[in-house]
Structure formats: C-alpha cells, structure tokens
Chain A
Amino acid sequence: DAKTTQPNSMESNEEEPVHLPCNHSTISGTDYIHWYRQLPSQGPEYVIHGLTSNVNNRMASLAIAEDRKSSTLILHRATLRDAAVYYCIQRPTGTASKLTFGTGTRLQVTL
C-alpha cells in the first residue's frame, strides 16, 4: 500500500495559520492526495483532496508540490475545534481503490 510520511505531532496557537506537511514520494500519476481529520471520539471527517492543482474549500486549502511528491494542508485560522489527528492519504484511482490511513499528525491548538 502507498505510504505517506507526516510529523507525529504539531502545535499551533489559536487564530494562527497552520501548515501540515505530508511527503508522498512514491506517488504515481493517477493517485489522488486526500486529507481527513479525526476529532476525539468521532469518525474521520473528509477535509479536502486533489490531484495536481492547489485546491480550496470552506475547511482548508491544499497545496501540492509541482513534482507531487509532497503536499501541505493549510488551515487558515486554527481554532480549538481544529484539534484532531490529520491524515494524509495517497489514494489510487480505479474501481477497487482503497483509502489506507497512515499514522497521521496530531494537531494541538492552544489559546
């Protein structure tokens, strides 16, 4: 299964931007980059995904390197409710593609 590398943990102050990095050096041309987060005692929540171009939605922005071997999830203004484990996932396309979670980054947000 495709493997991504993320820092184990990161800290941020509330209302500051957060940049969560992810390396996916084995990515192939048709693999999508997905980000999910999991708040305590909840199921994972979809955040954003992309292929090549940078993507924005109401939750976050995804910046994808030109060679696609890394990406960064950007939370523009962190709040206490953003404290969660963030998972970066390299997902193949195809009829039997799987969403395989790595160990993720635990984000702590402090006042």
Chain B
Amino acid sequence: DIQMTQSPSSLSASVGDRVIITCRPSQSINIHLNWYQQKPGKAPKLLIFGASNLQNGVPSRFSGSGSGTDFTLAISSLQPEDFATYYCQQSYSSPRTFGQGTKLEIK
C-alpha cells in the first residue's frame, strides 16, 4: 500500500495568512493526488483533484501543486471558514490511501 505522509500534523495561523500543507507519498503517484477539507462533525469535502484542479465551487484561494512524491496545498489568505482538518489522498493505486490529516487552527 502507498503510505501518505502529511506535514505538519497541526498548524496555527491567523486570518489573512498564507499557509502551505505538504503531502508525500511513499512512492511516485504521478499527479493522482486529491485534497479534502473536513470540519468537525461533517463529511469530508473534495477541494482539489489531480494535484492541481479546483473542484467546482471551491474558492480560488485554494491551490494545489506537485507531482511524483511531493505535493502541496496552499491557502493564499485564510478565512475563518478555512479552519478545519485537511487530508490528502492518492488515487494512483488500490487501495486508495489517505494522509493522517493536518489540523489547521486559529492562532
């Protein structure tokens, strides 16, 4: 199975900050990397698919980049509603696997 490692595991930031979350798979996955946002008590929401494609309705302050074994999710100017947990997920090979999550908290 492909192991997905996110960093950091938690992050404190302020409204208006730019933040970056990293995801590193244990082997190359081309661009088959997706990002989800999950708020407490809610289902995950797809933000980005194929490493850099914004899902319909997702604000443009979210962006993704990377390929192979190094990926990033960037949020350009944090809004109050962005404080949540973020997960990466590989769709390159079965079983699909998720990172352990990055909890983004208000500083």
Q: Do A and B bind each other?
A: no
Which A residues lie at the B interface, using CB under 8 A? none
